[in-house]
Chain A
Amino acid sequence: MAFLTIYWRDMIRFVRFRALLFSSLLQPALWMAFFGVAMSSNFDRLTSAVPVPAGAFSVEYLTFMAAGVIAMTTLFTSLFGGISLLFDKNWGLMREMMASPIPRTDIMIGISLSGMTKSFIQVLIIMVFGLLIGVNFFPGYPPLQIAYSVLGLLLFVGVFSLGFLFLSSTISMRMESPEGLQGVITLLTLPLFFVSNALYPIQAFPPFLQALSVLNPLTYLVTGIRYFTIGSDFFAIGTHYSYTAIDILIAFGALATFTTVMYAVAWQTFRKAVIT
């Protein structure tokens, strides 16, 4: 249970660095408030020309992209989550942990769990903020179904964020400088974010991009979030979405597989790590 100690320390620091805390909470809210509102007023005007099929449940763009913003925030936070390991390493603090009797993999598990907690906090705040500015999540759901949907969404967010936290931890342990890490992360986030269904449907992508998006964990996270927050059958920006239970299980399976592979990679890295 030594990872709880690592978790405890990382959470103290999260709460203590007020600037970091507020910026990490404010940033997704700003995305929703500016990008979301601006884009949805444009998109809704354009897509209003596309007739909604009879009987389909139509969702405005703000609601559609809110799921994407939740996913994007989780991606960014998780990819940066390992950076505290890099600082611990560079400032020599990791030597204390490496010389202590705790299993070394507990360091990565503790940091990853605290990163996941941060993602949960952010996601809940975005949801509340989104509902306040008019995001139509959980349309007509009874309270019990809302609770069930939130749990399902957090399950997806949790598995996804752990996967990217393990990746981030691996990179941090192998990197020397925060600038290098930042470069790698920027390089990763751009394609992950734009070659996904976070902001627009992938159905209209050229085949090459579509193939890539199928390999992108973010696509599966967004699918899961939309399923739990909007429903299994809806119509948005001119596209009809319908998910079966199997689709959702496949999406979850894909995320779980990704996370398991990342865990294995991080585990190897930590077992062999030499920090002096």
Chain B
Amino acid sequence: MGGDIIEVENLTHAFDGFQAVKGISFSVREGEIFSFLGPNGAGKSTTINVLITLLPLQSGRVRIAGYDVAREPARVRESIGVVFQNEVLDRDLTVRETMEFHGRLYGIPRDERRAKIEEMLGIVKLTGKRDERTKNLSGGMKRRLEIARGLMTQPQVLFLDEPTIGLDPQTRLKMWDYIEQVNEAGTTIFLTTHYMDEADTLSDRISIIDHGEIVTTGTPDSLKNALGEDVIYLETTDNRAAEKALGSLKSVRNTMASPRGLVVTITEDGSRCLPAVIDRVRGEGIAIRSVNLKKPSMDDVFVHYTGRELRDTGEAGRGGS
């Protein structure tokens, strides 16, 4: 891994007075898979659109592959590949024409272009669909074509905006394989997602973004470890009183109310201190409805840093943010 290929300092972006991105700073190292994890509307797409030069830079500084997005947008565009959140395929062009069009836009000479198209279609297993119009492809094939297209220009950074949204579980897993292969071949990947498992599985590092701000950044493991050894979910008759009662327990690192009950992060082996937790709550005369002990997941990380669950944002499916 080399130096930083994406450098963002104090990026702010507003739409008609609404602050979509509120002064975020982060950097992505060459060769890594870096994820922006957050609910729809958190500012992920706005950030990615500024990074890929579709939105003008309002304030702050952004450098991609050494080029400033405000001063050298054409250089930035040459250095990157993009797979958009919504499908960006001309329904009436064939698979080969779709690739041909893209290769021409990036000025790849004819022979090199032809060879690259065959190579890329081979990698995403679409060689047999070469002369099929894109409207006849399945959702997974369309996504693969878009990834092949994004990669045919050999970008230094590939931007993937919600790459597996709308795909069935099996296709999703395959897509993750492709993304990992692409990364192993040396392409840095900047990914936005609102799927916890996706960020957890793919990323070298994750930034959790919420309400236009980065709330934390780290490797999936370090983010999960920050929550302590284990997490206990408690559902009681009086969560507020239980929270108070547990506050003084030494092995308890943190307690937090969530829609699913009380989330208790602890510093020790959970199975050993669970009895103490139960005793303490019951000792206050609070009845326990259910108990659940598990290793922290990215869901817990998200709840921990944002105070709410990703699924509570009430948004799913394809939509801009």
Binding site for B on A (CB under 8 A): 2, 4-5, 8-9, 12-13, 16-17, 92-93, 95-103, 274-276
Q: Which residues of A contact B89 (CB under 8 A)?
A: 93
Contact of A101 among B78, B86, B92 (CB under 8 A): B78
Asked if B104 and A5 make an inter-chain contact with CB atoms under 8 angstroms apart, the answer reads yes
Q: Are A100 and B77 in contact (CB under 8 A)?
A: yes
Q: Is the CB of B88 within 8 A of A92?
A: yes
- Beyond A16-B92, A99-B77, whether A275 also contacts B54 by CB under 8 A is yes
Asked whether A13 lies within 8 Å of B92 as measured between CB atoms, the reply is yes
Q: What A residues does B87 contact at CB under 8 A?
A: 92
B110 to chain A: closest CB distance in Å?
12
The yes or no answer to B9 lying at the interface (CB within 8 A) is: no
CB pair A92 B53 closer than 8 Å: no
Complex: chain B residue closest to A9, CB-CB: B101
Q: Which residues on the A side are within 8 Å of B86 (C-beta)? A: 92
Q: Can you name the residue of chain A whose Cβ is closest to the Cβ of B54?
A: A276
- Are A8 and B56 in contact (CB-based, < 8 A)? no
Contact of B88 (CB < 8 Å), options: A9, A95, A102, A274: A95
Contact in complex: B54, A93 (CB < 8 Å): no
Partner of B52, one of A5, A9, A93, A99: A99
B53 cross-chain contacts in A, Cβ below 8 A: 99
The answer to whether B49 touches A276 (Cβ under 8 A) is yes
How distant is A94 from chain B, measured CB to nearest CB, in Å?
9
Known: A16-B92, A95-B84. A5 touches B54 (CB 8 A): no
Indicate if the CB atoms of B107 and A93 lie closer than 8 Å: no
- A5 in complex: contacting residue of B49, B90, B93, B105, CB < 8 Å: B105
10 contacts between A and B (CB under 8 A): A93-B90, A95-B82, A95-B88, A96-B84, A99-B52, A99-B77, A100-B102, A101-B105, A276-B45, A276-B49
A275: chain B residues within 8 A (beta carbon)? 54
Interfacial chain B residues near A276, Cβ < 8 Å: 45, 49, 54-55, 320
Give which listed residue, A5, A98, A101, contacts B101 with CB less than 8 A.
Answer: A5
Given A9-B90, A17-B92, A95-B54; A100-B84 close (CB under 8 Å): no
Interface residues of B in 100-118 (CB under 8 A from A): 101-102, 104-107
Q: Restricting to B21-66, which residues have a CB under 8 Å from any CB of A?
A: 45, 49, 52-56
A5-B101, A276-B49 known; A99 and B82 CB under 8 Å? yes
Determine the residue in chain A with the shortest Cβ distance to B45: A276
**Chain A neighbourhood of B88, CB < 8 A:** 92-93, 95-96
Q: Which 8 A-B pairs have CB atoms at the shortest separation, nearest pair first?
A: A5-B104, A100-B105, A101-B77, A101-B78, A276-B49, A276-B54, A101-B74, A92-B88
Asked if B97 is at the interface of the complex by the 8 Å CB criterion, the answer is yes
Contacts of B77 in A (CB 8 A): 99-101
A2's partner among B82, B97, B107 (CB-CB below 8 A) is B107
CA–CA, A13 and B101, complex, Å: 13
Q: Which residue of B54, B78, B93, B104 is within 8 Å of A274 (Cβ)? A: B54
Given contacts A2-B105, A100-B105, A102-B105, contact A92 B93 (CB under 8 A): no
B101 & A99 in contact (Cβ 8 Å cutoff): no
Residues of A within 8 Å of B52, CB to CB, are 99
In the complex, which residue of chain B has the Cβ closest to the Cβ of A17?
Answer: B92
B214 CB, min distance to chain A CBs, angstroms: 21
Residues of A within 8 A of B102 (CB): 96, 100
Within the complex, what minimum Cβ distance (angstroms) separates B192 from chain A? Answer: 14
- Verify B54–A9 contact, CB threshold 8 A: no
A34 to chain B minimum Cβ distance, whole angstroms, is 32
Give the distance to chain A from B135, nearest Cβ to Cβ, in Å: 12
B56 to chain A: closest residue by CB:
A274
Give Cα A266 to B139, complex, Å: 36
Residue in A closest to B79 when the chains form the complex, CB atoms: A101
* Alpha-carbon distance A100/B81, docked complex (angstroms): 9
With the chains together, A200 CA to B43 CA distance in Å? 60
Contacts of A100 in B (CB 8 A): 77, 102, 105-106
Beta-carbon contact of A8 and B84 below 8 Å: no
Residue of A nearest to B104 (CB): A5
Q: Quick one: which of B80, B82, B90 has the most chain A CB within 10 A?
A: B90
CA–CA, A101 to B52, complex, Å?
11
What chain B residues lie within 8 Å of A103 (beta carbons)? Answer: 74
Closest beta carbon of chain B to A40's beta carbon, Å: 40
B43 to chain A, nearest CB (A): 13
Distance in angstroms between the alpha carbons of A2 and B75 in the assembled complex: 16
- Residue pair A274, B92 in contact (C-beta under 8 Å): no
Cα–Cα distance between A96 and B86 once the two chains are bound (Å): 11
Tell me the bound Cα distance from A274 to B87 in angstroms.
19
**A13 surroundings in chain B (CB, below 8 A):** 90, 92-93
CB nearest neighbor in A for B149:
A96
Q: Which residue of B lies closest to A102 (CB)?
A: B105
A8 and B75 alpha carbons, distance in the complex (Å)? 25
Min C-beta distance of B78 to chain A, whole Å:
5
- When C-beta atoms are compared, the residue in chain B nearest to A88 turns out to be B90
For the complex with contacts A5-B101, A101-B75, A275-B54, 6 further pairs of A-B residues with Cβ separation under 8 Å are: A95-B88, A96-B88, A96-B105, A100-B105, A103-B74, A276-B45
> Could you tell me the distance between the alpha carbons of A267 and B306 in the complex, rounded to whole angstroms?
45
CA distance A110 to B93 in the complex (A): 17
Inside 8 A of B92's CB, which chain A residues have their CB? 12-13, 16-17
CB distance from B306 to the nearest CB of A (A): 25
